Structure 1
């Protein structure tokens, strides 16, 4: 690797570490205890809130995940949240995904009931330094915790793997115990910090759920975007590269076709129906 590129990587890694370190330092013992409690509560309510999703993922464990993709309609490429997003990323939005209803249910719960953490801000008021605290909603983290809780309930045989880590260079998965369980490194947040030189798609759908989530067993690598989190082309290309086989024919095609963009709530099951219902409601109001 050229020296300038290596230096840039090291500088980026150092900045990321300092941000994480500062965030940890800013959180008091009480904050961390509260966060740990919220995470535990989030997991404990999984059976009640997401029973339907769990039951859907429990059935037909022996069947390939790709079988369930046949009935999926894909995302809503006619809807754009920002600019030409629906045009530029159309193929990723329209990709058919197994278990979209279950994925949608989890994401909508995370959107409506996200875990919140305090974030302290310092600002100058009349020459004095004043510290204020705001709450930040962690929608993506909440969704990942819910997906992981479902996986745990299913004894790590869920086809949906939340933020599994892969080595960026070798594309090898970082496996836990059993090998169908993603390896974690964080103490409070399971998904952070990440190992050096790793990539972690928001959600991975495996083809055979009894086998490890190595890239050759991945049916779909899903990038989930909640409101306010915009799609970045580089991020999508990183996942395409990750999912591209090292050898064989049609490698680029295979890598591209494994990557999916799912915007919440636009690409979730039921969004179109809600949109029509809202339009009908507005028409009724106009008539009255």
Structure 2
């Protein structure tokens, strides 16, 4: 029986999901270009070594905790936002909650920009499906893995325009791999933590850790899939969390900012930011409970900042006369963006569930 076209579409999505630090045998059996993609990720990692240095320059390795938040506040105040960001202009700037997230100043915009630049340059079509290969041709164990993923995704992805979704998914995955690489190089004490998961409300349970600061990853195919709270309704996954104290566990009581990263073509939905704000209100209660000393016994009124980083609109910009780099990029990507806006909203939810 021939494999339906929709199933092949999901297989291609799954193949992108299994592009991890070292691509496995499953990808090699289904796809050509695996070796090249692996090398491309390697080159991207070399690019972000300067990001690692920039983080070390901004926050010394042995910084005192009492100084760390003050330095984050100083970096936030000096955030090199561009015009699109300061005025909440362009993609997604239609809702008050989203506008506030766009305009929110954050530290490390330079570092985030450099990582996203590297992820954006990774060729998105390195992988090509091998002709004549079907699910039935795969060994039983590997076929079972695919079937388990497919059983949870075919219905959800029925209306998704796969081509555009693949590009977004691959860039998001590349960015995650690079942020995780930065964290590893900093002995898992980077203030930038990617794919931080929180359980469903009202408690929003914290992401499990290994040791003091390393986030637990359960995925054998994709390090970020499944997440610890994968199948719990209402759970959320932050693209990036900036910790107040990078040598402490990245949990609700240690959030300086949540940064949602959106590459071009990815949907921006107010409901997602409402969920983040709900979690941050819970984080404020946790911080209040932990506070040994409170000014006039007042509770902590914020669990952290909430920022939307749209790539490339919100990249770091330095100098008053520097041209807006996002404009040229947007013109090149305009046909792709118009196509994406016609896509089903299910694509974003599928990505956030790790499919």
Q: TM-score, normalised by structure 1?
A: 0.71
* Correspondence for 1:209: 246
Structure 1 residues 201, 215: closer, same or farther in 2, change over 3 A? same
Matches within 5 A, 1:48-127: 48-59=46-57, 60-61=60-61, 62=63, 63-64=68-69, 65-74=72-81, 75-81=85-91, 84-85=93-94, 89-113=98-122, 116=125
Matches within 5 A, 1:158-173: 158-169=190-201, 170-173=203-206
* Correspondence for 1:4: none
Which has the larger share of strand?
1
* Correspondence for 1:189: 222
Whether the aligned pair in 1 keeps the contact of 2:189 and 2:247 (CA below 8 Å) is: yes
Per-residue CA deviation, residues 112-154 of structure 1 (Å, 9 max, x unaligned), is 225555579xxxxxxxxxxxx9693211111111000010011
Unaligned runs of 5+ in 2: 1-8, 19-25, 131-161, 289-297, 329-355
Whether the aligned pair in 2 keeps the contact of 1:119 and 1:134 (CA below 8 Å) is: no
1:267 equivalent to 2:314? Answer yes
Structure 1 residues 178, 242: closer, same or farther in 2, change over 3 A? same
**Comparing 202-211 and 169-178, the one that deviates more:** 169-178
Higher relative contact order (CA 8 A, sep 6+): 2
Q: TM-score, normalised by structure 2?
A: 0.59
Q: For 1:189 and 1:89, how far apart are their aligned partners in 2? A: 30
* Correspondence for 2:150: none
| Displacement of 1:177 | 1.7
Whether the aligned pair in 2 keeps the contact of 1:240 and 1:258 (CA below 8 Å) is: no
Q: For 1:259 and 1:218, how far apart are their aligned partners in 2? A: 10
Unaligned runs of 5+ in 1: 1-18, 121-132, 280-288
Aligned length: 246
Q: For 1:219 and 1:92, how far apart are their aligned partners in 2? A: 14
**Comparing 100-109 and 263-272, the one that deviates more:** 263-272
Q: For 1:85 and 1:119, how far apart are their aligned partners in 2? A: 39
* Correspondence for 2:264: 227
Matches within 5 A, 1:230-269: 230-245=267-282, 247=285, 254-255=302-303, 258-269=305-316
RMSD, matched Cα: 3.6
Whether the aligned pair in 2 keeps the contact of 1:148 and 1:162 (CA below 8 Å) is: yes
Per-residue CA deviation, residues 151-171 of structure 1 (Å, 9 max, x unaligned), is 001110110001012222322
